[in-house]
Amino acid sequence: MQEMQINRTAVIGAGSWGTALARLLAEKGEAVTLWGHRPEHMAELAQRRENARYLPGFALPDSLVLETDIRAAVSEAQCVLMVVPSHGYRRVFATLLPHLRPGTLLVSAVKGIEVGTRMTMTAIMAEEAGDRKGEFRYGVLSGPSFAREVAQHQPTAVTIAFADQEAARAVQYLFATDYFRAYTGDDVIGLEISGAMKNVIAIAAGICDGLGYGLNSRAALITRGLAEITRMGVAMGADTRTFSGLGGLGDLVLTCTGSLSRNRTVGLKLGQGKTLAQALDEMTMVAEGVKTTKSCYNLARQLGVEMPILEQTYQVLYQDKDTREAVRELLSRNLKKELA
């Protein structure tokens, strides 16, 4: 395929992150369309020029096109950025696939693993593309990046990974601004595993915070969580260096410590004694880590990878295990060498 000039971008998903990225591109002067699946929500965005539900307080540039017709959103786009929850990812992508131009760059900005298939988002796109798989290039945008802080123009750095470095550079320059720095990489699977699993560890970190444990506990959990993420990633063929980078350690620290973290918030509520149903009822946005815990738990068993924090988090979420008992079991496991 010839080198691509990205003249138009479609952002699929009008939640907080999709809105923040679409807004970034529009402010930069790029031609960008933001697609959302609920007509009433998109009508409200068009009327108010603000995403009051998911990213309140930030005006949408007049140049940002809002769309509910998925064909109109993607048919002229050279780059399609997928920012829909993992549980709806396959359905939305299958809907837009017939309208994609050959050569389109497909970028996932979703941090999850599909329940049931245990597939990453780029793997879902490649599978759905079928005979057309070779027509597209598949990449990931990931890193420590809360949507609200990006909308505030807070200095932020992310990684954009493609197997094809020409594609990675094209998307890197598309998103780069004086406050949003994009690095390139080629470890797509490493970024996807990191992005998914850090949400699980963030739930565990929130549980510890909700139980009243201190900074020692949090630091230990983040460090051992990174070890688990690395083990899973290596088993999937990832580059170990990825896990010390922005999409690995950087995103893990942010999600385990930041007050804007949805997944940490879920864990915090569980540690304070609320049920999972109660915790989720109080959330307005999707906490990807809840479903990802199940898919990663099954993936770890499939791979034969030891992941005790993941296992205990799964038991708390899906087997109603007492949170204090989960922590006790983590600490009372057989003693071993740290870097074995």
Pairwise CA distance, residues 109 & 126, whole Å: 16
pTM equals 0.94
Residue 37 maps to a domain: yes
321/208 same-domain check: yes
- Tokens representing residue 120 in the block: 């990453």
320: helix, coil or strand? Answer: coil
20 alpha carbon, distance to own chain's centre = 14
Residue 154 maps to a domain: yes
204/182 same-domain check: no
Residue 113 maps to a domain: yes
- Relative orientation angle of helices 215-235 and 308-318, to the nearest 10 degrees: 100
Predicted local distance difference test score (pLDDT) of residue 1: 42
218/310 same-domain check: yes
Residue 265 maps to a domain: yes
Pairwise CA distance, residues 27 & 173, whole Å: 15
Residue 337 maps to a domain: no
179/208 same-domain check: no
Number of domains in the chain: 2
139/243 same-domain check: no
Residue 18 maps to a domain: yes
Last residue of a domain, one of 186, 220, 237: 186
Residues that are catalytic: 198
- Tokens representing residue 64 in the block: 């940002």
180/210 same-domain check: no
Tell me which amino acid residue 183 is. Y
β-strand partners of 12: 35, 82
Predicted local distance difference test score (pLDDT) of residue 3: 59
Predicted local distance difference test score (pLDDT) of residue 21: 98
Burial category of 186 from C-beta neighbours within 10 Å (exposed 0-12, middle 13-18, buried 19 and up): middle
98/176 same-domain check: yes
14/124 same-domain check: yes
Predicted local distance difference test score (pLDDT) of residue 4: 66
Last residue of a domain, one of 143, 163, 186: 186
Q: 171, 151 in Cβ contact below 8 A?
A: no
Pairwise CA distance, residues 108 & 46, whole Å: 25
> What are the Cα distances from residue 43, in Å, to 56, 94, 231, 284?
15, 24, 45, 19
pLDDT digits (tens, 9 = 90+) for 11-20: 999 999 999 9
> What are the Cα distances from residue 267, in Å, to 3, 202, 280?
45, 7, 10
Our CA dihedral for 80, 85, 90, 92, rounded to 10 degrees, sits at -60
Full residue range of the structural domain in which residue 56 is found: 8-186
Q: 175, 159 in Cβ contact below 8 A?
A: no
179/201 same-domain check: no
Spatial strand order of the sheet with 137-142 comes to 65-67, 31-35, 8-12, 79-82, 105-108, 137-142, 156-162, 180-185
CATH number of the domain bearing residue 103: 3.40.50.720
- 190-55-122 Cα angle (round to 5): 25
Last residue of a domain, one of 124, 157, 186: 186
244/272 same-domain check: yes
CATH number of the domain bearing residue 268: 1.10.1040.10
9: helix, coil or strand? Answer: strand
234/287 same-domain check: yes
Q: Please, which residues have CB within 8 angstroms of residue 267's CB and are 6 or more apart in sequence?
A: 202, 203, 204, 205, 206, 207, 208, 209, 210
User: pLDDT (tens digit, 0 to 9) for every residue of the chain, 340 residues total?
Assistant: 445 689 999 999 999 999 999 999 999 999 999 999 999 999 999 999 999 999 999 999 999 999 999 999 999 999 999 999 999 999 999 999 999 999 999 999 999 999 999 999 999 999 999 999 999 999 999 999 999 999 999 999 999 999 999 999 999 999 999 999 999 999 999 999 999 999 999 999 999 999 999 999 999 999 999 999 999 999 999 999 999 999 999 999 999 999 999 999 999 999 999 999 999 988 877 778 899 999 999 999 999 999 999 999 999 999 999 999 999 999 999 999 998 7
Predicted local distance difference test score (pLDDT) of residue 221: 95
40/164 same-domain check: yes
Residue 3 maps to a domain: no
Residue 140 maps to a domain: yes
